[in-house]
Structure formats: C-alpha cells, structure tokens
Amino acid sequence: MQLRNSASRYGLVSIVLHWGVALVVFGLFGLGWWMVGLDYYSSWRHTAPDLHKGIGLILLAVMVLRVIWRFISPPPPSPPNHGPLTRMAAKIGHGLLYVGLFAVMIAGYLISTAEGDPISVFGLFDVPALISDLPDQADVAGEIHLYLAWGLVIFALLHALAALKHHFIDRDATLTRMLGRKA
C-alpha cells in the first residue's frame, strides 16, 4: 500500500491518521465520561485527568500533522456517483469534524490552564498556560468542552453511518477507499 493518497484510494498515512484519531476521540470521550464521576477518594482522581490531558495534547499535535498531510497529499476525489449535494455535504461534514476536534481540544486546554499552571504531558514536557485570566475560564470552558465533546461524538457517529450507507445501500467506494482498497 502506498503512503500517499492516490486518485482512487487513501494512502497508509491518511488511513492511520483517520482511524487512529477516531479511536482516540472515542477513548477520550469514554475516559472523560468515566473520570467526572470519580469521587474524592478514588485513586484515579488525579491520574485520569492527567491521562486525559496528555492524550488530548498529543491528539492536538497529531491533528495539526493531519491538516498538514491533507495539503501534502490531498484526498481522492469523490466517487463519480456522488452528486453535487453529496459532495458539498461531505466537504462541510469533514470541515465540521476538523473544526469540532480543534474546538474541543482548545476548550480542554482552557480548562486545564485556567489557574495559570502548565499542563504536563506524561512528565516529558510541559505546555505553558498562555491564557489564564478570562472570567470564569474553567467553568465556561468546561461547559463548552462538554457540549462540544458530545456534539463531536454524535457527529462522528453520523459520519460513520453515512459511510455505512454509502457502502451497503449505494454500494460505492466511499468506505473501501478509507480501508485502503481501490475504488
């Protein structure tokens, strides 16, 4: 399998980035959902948020690389059976997923840096608090992070359902191309 995208399918780099980001997003969602229910005496009370933040910041770096890769190796064109409305919906949908991912990560960063403290990424390096003086920063960013996370996961599920619809009902190559197979 080639590394770069071609006119008929996605390359290995795009495939790994796509499925890797999807797994991490759903993993972070599950971790976040679980950790907010931890009580004061749980041994995971500090470990889970540190894990969530570290993975989230690594995901942010991966998403920046993913955007750069999209310019280096543009995705293949839509299958020929996609009409103009489907093509436009796909572009808007992908754009919303990218914007949603970055927005949820920025909101998480603003929660974590509200007190002016840097975020440690697994003890390897610290990400400084660049913005920490907004009114009610942690609370406002927390609400935004929560709603964006739910919205992102729901929208990602709709994205998956659309891919399955294309595969099983339309019988086109939309899904198979993201699995590394030729259209």
Summarize pLDDT for 126-177 with one digit per residue, the tens: 999 999 999 999 999 999 999 999 999 999 999 999 999 999 999 998 999 9
Residue 172 belongs to a domain? yes
* 21 part of a folded domain: yes
Q: How confident is residue 27, by pLDDT bands cut at 50, 70 and 90?
A: very high
150 within a domain of the structure (yes/no): yes
Q: What is the pLDDT of residue 17?
A: 98
Q: 3-state secondary structure string, 47-65?
A: HHHHHHHHHHHHHHHHHHH
Q: What is the DSSP letter of 75?
A: P
Find the Cα–Cα–Cα–Cα dihedral 174, 19, 30, 116, rounded to 10°: -120
Instruction: Answer whether residue 3 is part of any domain.
Output: no
pLDDT in tens, 112-140: 999 999 999 999 999 999 999 999 999 99
- Residue 55 pairs in a beta bridge with none
**Residue 85 lies in domain:** 12-178
In a domain, 6, yes or no: no
List the CATH number of the domain containing 171.
1.20.950
How many domains, the chain?
Answer: 1
